[in-house]
């Protein structure tokens, strides 16, 4: 038996070399009678192999059987065995793993009943699984799923009742539906869906409340009181469902008011231009500020009149040149007695142009 001593096995176990320890055990011929210490080494190696098995994706019950076997093997290691201290340290870990697997299996069984009380019991069981457990991630996934199911079952009746109230389309029932659905708190499973529905109902309420305001504003505008109509429509505040409609109406009425205010200005400028007073026409039309309803039309007229004025100036300059008498050029002066530079012709005047 000397060639099959325990020292290599001890070294492999201490260094966590399970492959080496297992190979050592496998190398013992079947004809050799094992001592109790050899048997304890076999038990310890097998238990450590089970602990090291990372196939935690299999069903809990299938994983539980090897764990129970490992605890059984460790309990049969003699207290006088040189491997007893390691077995004593390993046994509680395996027992805790086995207990946690039982808890997770019980929790899954309870959750499968799909009732709020049993789901809550399943959640309580899953929460007891420590963070160090190998199936902790799987347990957390199940836990989150069960919590969502409980929230869905608790909040769905509230949500359905609110939906039934909102179906009537009446303002009081819509307000009740909004108040009811607000009982579903943030971070609950149905909260996003409930919020989407609620804002739809809020919009319906706002339409019911603000439609009479816009109708009144339209009636006032139809009577020609546009400024008063704008004041009425402005009662629809930003963020309300009909705010865009109100702003569209207000914009139209402002456009009409600006046309009424600025059309006389543009007519006056056109009248001046037709009489030949182009500069005065440009000055008058320039009173229409950017952003006003007739600003584009005013700028078009200004551009046209400015072009006409420039053409008149050009013709006047040509006429002035042609009307000057022909003067014989004086002889070229000597360099030392250059004549003084004469004043240039004055620029054309920007005075109004009377009709020809």
Residue 240 lies in a domain: no
Domain final position from 47, 80, 110: 110
Per-state percent for the chain, helix, strand, coil, to nearest 5: 70, 0, 30
Residue 349 lies in a domain: no
In this prediction, the residues of the chain whose per-residue pLDDT falls under 50 are 1-18, 332-350, 355-356
Query: What is the span of the domain harbouring residue 292?
Result: 260-318
Residue 301 lies in a domain: yes
Query: Do 157 and 132 form a contact (C-beta atoms < 8 A)?
Result: no
pLDDT for residue 272:
96
Q: Tell me how far CA of residue 222 lies from CA of 86, 219, 253, in angstroms.
A: 97, 5, 10
Residue 138 lies in a domain: no
pLDDT for residue 335:
41
In total, how many domains does the chain have? Answer: 2
Domain final position from 110, 125, 160: 110
Residue 25 lies in a domain: yes
Domain final position from 75, 110, 145: 110
Residue 327 lies in a domain: no
pLDDT for residue 47:
81
Q: Residue 103's closest CA among 139, 50, 57?
A: 139
pLDDT for residue 195:
96
Residue 212 lies in a domain: no
pLDDT for residue 74:
85
Residue 132 lies in a domain: no
């Amino acid at each position: 038996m000397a060639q099959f001593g325990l020292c290599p096995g001890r070294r492999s176990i201490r260094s966590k070399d399970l492959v080496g320890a297992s190979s050592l055990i496998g190398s013992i011929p079947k004809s050799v009678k094992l001592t109790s210490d050899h048997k304890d080494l076999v038990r310890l190696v097998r238990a450590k192999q089970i602990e090291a098995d990372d196939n935690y994706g299999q069903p809990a019950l299938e994983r539980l059987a090897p764990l129970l076997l490992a605890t059984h093997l460790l309990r049969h290691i003699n207290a006088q065995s040189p491997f007893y201290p390691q077995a004593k340290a390993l046994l509680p870990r395996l027992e805790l793993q086995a207990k946690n697997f039982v808890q997770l299996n019980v929790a899954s069984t309870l959750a499968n009943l799909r009732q709020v009380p049993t789901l809550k019991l399943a959640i309580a069981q899953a929460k007891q699984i420590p963070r160090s457990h190998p199936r902790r991630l799987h347990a957390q996934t199940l836990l989150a799923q069960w919590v969502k199911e409980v929230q869905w079952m608790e909040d769905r009746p509230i949500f359905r009742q609110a939906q039934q109230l909102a179906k009537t389309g009446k303002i009081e029932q819509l307000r009740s539906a909004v108040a009811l659905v607000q009982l579903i708190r943030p971070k609950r499973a149905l909260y996003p869906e409930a919020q989407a529905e609620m804002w739809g109902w809020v919009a319906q309420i706002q339409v019911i409340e603000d439609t009479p305001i816009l109708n009144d504003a339209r009636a006032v505008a139809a009577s020609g009181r546009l400024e008063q109509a704008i004041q009425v429509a402005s009662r629809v505040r930003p963020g309300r469902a009909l705010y865009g409609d109100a702003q569209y109406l207000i914009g139209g009425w402002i456009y009409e008011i600006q046309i009424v205010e600025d059309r006389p200005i543009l007519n006056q400028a056109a009248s001046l231009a037709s009489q030949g007073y182009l500069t005065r026409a440009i000055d008058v039309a320039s009173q229409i500020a950017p952003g006003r309803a007739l600003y584009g039309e005013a700028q078009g007229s200004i551009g046209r009149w400015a072009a006409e004025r420039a053409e008149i100036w050009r013709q006047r300059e040509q006429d002035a040149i042609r009307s000057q008498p022909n003067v014989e050029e004086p002889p070229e002066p000597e360099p030392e007695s250059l004549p003084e530079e004469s004043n240039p012709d004055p620029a054309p005047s920007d005075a109004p142009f009377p009709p020809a």
